[in-house]
Structure formats: C-alpha cells, structure tokens
Structure 1
C-alpha cells in the first residue's frame, strides 16, 4: 500500500523490531492499531539515527488526511510530537476554533460596522463611507503605531519587517529613519516582553495589536484615515501632523462593535447582522469534530470550553454551529473569560441564568465550582481544581491541553505562565494560503492571502508569531478537523522543529533552508 523510500539497512533494522512496525501503522491510517504513544516516538528515533530522509506516500489515496512525510534534517528527536492520550484535561476556544466564520462575508461586515460608527457617532466625514476594503491590506497580527499613523509587521525579535504610513509602504530607509538602525519600536518591544502583564496596561494607549479576524479590518480603516489627513494637509500646503490622534476613535469603534451588552440591546450593527443572517456568516462545525468531542468525554477525559464571548452571543453562535445541545459536549463552559487575564487572575466566577450574569452571584475563589454548568468570568486555578476532582486526581497531577487561534491569548499565555501548567495547540487558517496547501482548496484565500504583507509566518525573516508557535505550541494546525481523530492513541508528529502539522508553511521552510 505504501511506497517507502528507505535504504536497505534501515529496512532490515525496521523488520526486526515489531514495535516499530506498529509505529509505522500508527502513522499510516490504513494500518493503524491502538498503540502506546511512545511506540511512534521510538519509530521516529530509529530513522533519525540513520541520517536518511523518509517519505511515506499512500499512492492509492493522496488526500490531505492520508499524506505523511518525514525529514530528519534536524534529527527526529527535535521534532514535536503529540498524542491526546497524554492529557487528562482538554480545552478549547470557541471562535475560529470549534466554530468558524465565513471570512469572505465576516471581514467586510466588520469593516462596515467600524466605519459607520466613526461617521455616525464620531462625526467623521461621510467620504469615509466611499472607501473600499482592500483585503490585501489585512493580516492577523499586525501592530498599529497610533501616534505616528503607521502599521507594522514584526519579526521574531520584534524588529520591523515591513511597515506602512497610512496605506503607503515605507522604504527600508524610511523605517530606519523612524525607528532606528535596529528597526524596533520601543513600545512594541516592551509590550512583548510580557504580553499578559501589559495586556490592559498604559502601553495600549499608544499601541494596538490586531491578533485575530475580529480586529484586522481596523488596520485598513486606520490607514485610510491617515491617508485622508495627509492628503488634506497637502492640499492646504501644510505639513502632516506630528502626532495623529485618531487611534482612540478607532479603538472606541472596536469596543462599541463588540461590546458584550450590545448583543442583547441591539446597538451593534455587527451583532444585528449576525442575528439576522447567521447562515451568511457562521459555518456549521463538521460532524467529525462533534463526534470527536463526544469521544474525548466518553474516554474519561475532562473537556472544557473557555471563550471571551458573553454567554448570550456564545449561545447564539454555538447553537448554530455545534447544535442546540452544544453545552452537553463539555464538562464546563466559561464565557466572558477575558483571556489572557483569565490564566493569571483570581477573579471570581459569576453564575449565569437566562443567558445573563446573575448580579451578586460571585463565587469565592476558595470555593469549588460545579461541573456541567455555564459560568461567566472566573479564573483558571478554580476550573482546573474542579476538573481534577472529577478525575479523582490532584490539580498538580492532571496534564492539561488548550487549543485556540489567538496566539497571544490561547498559546502564549497558558504556556508562558508556568503556574498554569498547560500545553497548547495553535490554529491558523493562514497555513491554508501557503503554496504547499493549495490542494486543500481553501475557500477564503481571496481574503486571507496578502501579497502586500507577505506570508503570516515569514516575510524575508520569520515573523514574531511564528516564533511564538515555535516556542510555545505543541503543534500548529490549520483547522481543528486536522487533528480530530477518534483514535486518541494516534501520535501526531510534525516533520519540522516548529511543530506545524501536517506541513510547515512553504515560505518559512524556504527561509530556514
């Protein structure tokens, strides 16, 4: 069934070791058996020691779920490997993780909502409504330098890889003139030294990170307004402003659009649009993923959901994507968690009734919280204690895993904060616009691929976010479906030291070589 490019000495060694034969079956779904997680790791180590690359190709089925390849350019011992049965407690983010959005519709909607707020409420010129959204300008993870009117893309050492003033691309010389020879903005560098501590601190008055699809249209709007101000100054024969003061207004438009109270009171154009046409913006979660969630719980694992959405909005989106009984998929659901602070704070949990927080229902941080219950706010330590108790283990004994798409909130924070003791998996649909993923026929390439900014993972050099993936994530996958395997003993082995599965982004792979 499989053609293996393996030299004869390796093949001879391989045939003599039955555990390693089983390991190959674990990699090859056609021959998969139930295996202990270490089996596959032994298999990896064998081929690493022989210094030969291995390529396994299923000639009868070359679909994305049946394709595996391994290279040992760095030694298999350095590759990231992962198995769900290594964990007792498994958690998920909701948006862009267990449920996905139609980005071709969602991004334009967000852009419309933000600029209408600026025109209708902040009284910006109506000409702003005539601007067009250029999705080439959008990319997750960009940074706004509010006072200078610049949009920045950062490298792994927070150096500026690419930058614009408004929508105008800055030259190398202009970047150095503004930010110095090291091409670093001190505010951003300080922020990223401790993302969690600085998350809601004073630096955010000058600085804005756009970490997910809910924020990215703000970069386009911000840049277009800068262009307006510069053009206006030029028309009047004036110099452009020394300091731009529009960021607070753009920030206010974001806060209004996604303010949790505005789902129920009808004051957000964004929430109103989703409620009117959920089928236009929200995708149904696959039956494969839903069954897998049930398998996780049936296997004896504790399964939880932590989302930043308020309970009413979370219930609306999850009911559409996961089904009306979505809460039964989890042992615990936490809404309005306010990540990443959730992982460090001692905020009390609030009880929920009729899709709203119950005033005065705070649960002491010393008390136990109940399972099979939806809470609001809260903290990680209490949740972990409750889930550990269900498993008849102490909190220090349980191994925990969390999966999400926001690399600051869902990958960096849980892993970097050692007291949390959580491993993480990052999800990035940006993998699907890479050249080596074209066979996946990704439907949102037209809005997620940016020739202007380059690859999300590497623009001449690895990006800051690719460094977060490498350092903090066990794996990075394009979709939750990629790893939703009913065989919980399956070992997922990346063939790269950064942990991308099933393949690393081609742009990053080329740069490393």
Structure 2
C-alpha cells in the first residue's frame, strides 16, 4: 500500500488454502472486468443527469454538469441530511468533509458533527442517513448530489428541493440506469464503445483460467450485474463461448444479502424467469449462499476462494457469514491501472487534493482500508497482477510473505 505497509495476512497462509481449495469464484465488475474509470464516471454522470431532467423535471442546465474527479471518489459517504461528502477512518471518525466547493477544517468538522467526530449509525451499508459510494459506478451519483445541493442552496432549483428529495431522485436514476438492460442510455453507450470503456485484459484472463484448471479448480461467477450486461462484458473480454469458462454462472445476486444467513431467495432461471435448482454452466440469477453451499457439498467453507472488489459486499460478508477465503482486488494499489486516458494521472492528483489515499485517512487506515485488511486473506491490484503471483507459485511452490 502506498503510505504504510499492509497488515494483510501472510501470503503463505493464502497459498496453503489455495492448494486445498476446490472452487474459485469471481465478481465481475472491477474484478474480471477492468474499466477506464474516468470515462465510466463521465458516462454514468451523463445518464443520471439525463434522467433527472427528462423524468424528474430538473432544469436543463443540469445536463451541463461536467464530471470533476476531485469532488467525489470511491469510499466517500454522502451525508444526506447535511448535504456533505465524508471520509471516515477505521474508527468511523470523520476526517474529511466537503460541502459544495468548501473543504471543512478540523474546527468546522467538530462544529458540524460534535467533538468526538464519530459517525453514528454507520455499519458499512447505505441506509436512510448515508449513501455509500462503494464502487466507481456510484461516483457520478455522489458528484451529482454535491452539485445539486449547491445549486439548490443558491436558488438554482425551482421549485427548491430538499437534500432528501435530491437523494431520492438520484436513487431512482441509479435504478433506472442499471436495473433493466433494455432501458436508458448506459448499456447502449457501453456497447458502442467497448474499447473505450474496458481495459482489455483478455489475454491475462484466459491464461489465469487455464492455470486454475491446471490446478483442478472449478470456477464460478458471482456478480450483482444483470444478464444482458454480463453477456455484453464477457462476450467482449472472453468471446462468445464465455460460459464455457465457468462451472457456475450466478448473476444479479444482490450481494451482500446473498451471503446473509437469513436469505432464502431462490435461484431463478434467467431464460424462463422461474425458480430452479442450481445447474452447471447455466445462467441463473438471485439465490442465496446456503443453497449454493448445499449444492457444492463441500466439507469446509474455506475450500472456496472468492475474488471481489467491494469491501463489504464481496469481502466482509463472504468472510463473516461463510468463511470463504477472500481476495480483495484493490485497483488503488496500482494507481495508473493501465488507463488509456492521457489525463487520468492528472485526475488522480486532483482527487488526492481533497481526499488523499483510498486506503488511508490522514495517518490511520481509512474505514475501507481497515475492512480490507481485516477480512481479506490476500490483496492484489488486479487479476493480471494475481496471474503473475500464481505463475510464480506454480513454478517455485512458495512466495515470500
């Protein structure tokens, strides 16, 4: 990690678990698929603003919002009531606040949130008080919230909207943008510019899957993305035969609920939209981890290794509820991420002007950094980086701590 040495578990423990594992699972977005993230944020912002203007009656000047990467970053929290963007540390202590264009100093943060600065009622999930900007898909929503609150306070929204109303409208725009493949502009825009949206890591993906098969691993996909988008993405990255790479294909899983013990959501056949049992190499959606584990009939939960990028939905819940061996894919460990955009490195510096490092908050781990260190058994910047480690392991049988 960039500022302090990682406290993640020794690598030799992970590789011991790797040898005894039978299944290796993968999230899709920001795990299998790598994005040109600046372009992704610009596109999602355009989709949100278009919905707000066309469907919710916002003024047309909202369409002119030009995404600014320093305003909102992955890991921010939106304080809905106060209209602030926040960053919190491992103790849930607020260390940075942005309202409109104003960056709060320490005394202003204390005045706004109390002397102890501890964020009440936050456990890592979005709730009625806070929206978690957990992925790059949501950064545009955080940016729009910031700009719309500022516009409202300056009298630019008529009729004037409360912060809660702005938030509710933005949530509607997210649901409209991502929930149904046949509606909105996001999916058509991606399909028309696949090389501009995705970082082509096809060669590495195919080689990684071959090496896993060489070690007799069964491979599954477990993602929250809907079938149309999964098919679009993997057809581009792996080819029209992409389903052959996976023994199980589980989509729209609604993580983190998928992992929680109380979930009894049945698996649904994507084609018929009817309840069904698990099937090999067949696209299913919804479901729950209890039925998955029963189908796999494993002696121990840690016979599964799971790769994912989301600290809560992929890592903490998989570890807490079913004790899977977890691999965090933390793109921020590799700050340039093979971006094509010439100004991406500039956007990184802009973000750090306000928010600093994703994994740290001043001199402490950020909330997300602490989650990843506590609940992930292995950390990597990308599957391409992990491929290098796997090749070394298969060749030499060991890696240094």
Instruction: Quote the Cα distance in structure 2 between the aligned partners of 1:242 and 1:95.
Output: 33
What's 1:481 paired with?
Answer: 384
The one of 269, 273, 281 equivalent to 1:351 is 269
SS state of the match for residue 253, structure 2?
A: coil
* Contact 2:219 2:248 (8 Å CA) reproduced: yes
Instruction: Quote the Cα distance in structure 2 between the aligned partners of 1:230 and 1:486.
Output: 56
Shift of 1:398: 5.9
What's 1:248 paired with?
Answer: 168
Residue-by-residue CA offset, 1:56-84 (whole Å, 9 max, x unaligned): xxxxxxxxxxxxxxx9x99x997443213
Instruction: Quote the Cα distance in structure 1 between the aligned partners of 2:161 and 2:8.
Output: 54
Deviates more, 1:173-182 or 1:209-218: 173-182
What's 1:5 paired with?
Answer: none
SS state of the match for residue 205, structure 2?
A: helix
Instruction: Quote the Cα distance in structure 2 between the aligned partners of 1:77 and 1:340.
Output: 22
Gaps of 5+ in 1: 1-70, 389-393, 495-513
The one of 217, 238, 242 equivalent to 1:322 is 238
Q: Name which one, 1 or 2, has greater alpha-carbon Rg.
A: 1
What's 1:23 paired with?
Answer: none
SS state of the match for residue 371, structure 1?
A: coil
* Contact 1:165 1:223 (8 Å CA) reproduced: yes
| 1:23-422 alignment, distance < 5 Å | 79-81=10-12, 82-83=14-15, 84-188=18-122, 191-192=123-124, 195=125, 204-232=127-155, 245-259=165-179, 261=180, 263-264=181-182, 267-344=183-260, 345-353=263-271, 358-359=272-273, 361-363=274-276, 369-388=278-297, 394-396=298-300, 399-417=303-321, 420-422=322-324
* Contact 2:38 2:69 (8 Å CA) reproduced: no
SS state of the match for residue 347, structure 1?
A: coil
Distance 1:241-1:121 versus aligned 2 partners, 3 A rule: closer
Distance 1:447-1:306 versus aligned 2 partners, 3 A rule: farther
Shift of 1:146: 0.9
SS state of the match for residue 151, structure 1?
A: strand
Residue-by-residue CA offset, 1:89-129 (whole Å, 9 max, x unaligned): 11000111111122232111011111111111111122222
What's 1:8 paired with?
Answer: none
SS state of the match for residue 91, structure 1?
A: strand
Instruction: Quote the Cα distance in structure 2 between the aligned partners of 1:269 and 1:77.
Output: 40
* Contact 2:9 2:378 (8 Å CA) reproduced: no
Gaps of 5+ in 2: none
* Relative contact order, higher structure (CA 8 A, sep 6+): 2
Instruction: Quote the Cα distance in structure 2 between the aligned partners of 1:483 and 1:242.
Output: 46
Instruction: Quote the Cα distance in structure 1 between the aligned partners of 2:71 and 2:232.
Output: 30
SS state of the match for residue 137, structure 1?
A: coil
What's 1:445 paired with?
Answer: 345
Q: Provide the TM-score with structure 2 as the length reference.
A: 0.87
Distance 1:441-1:77 versus aligned 2 partners, 3 A rule: closer
SS state of the match for residue 294, structure 1?
A: helix
Residue-by-residue CA offset, 1:297-322 (whole Å, 9 max, x unaligned): 24222211101111121111111112
Q: Provide the TM-score with structure 1 as the length reference.
A: 0.69
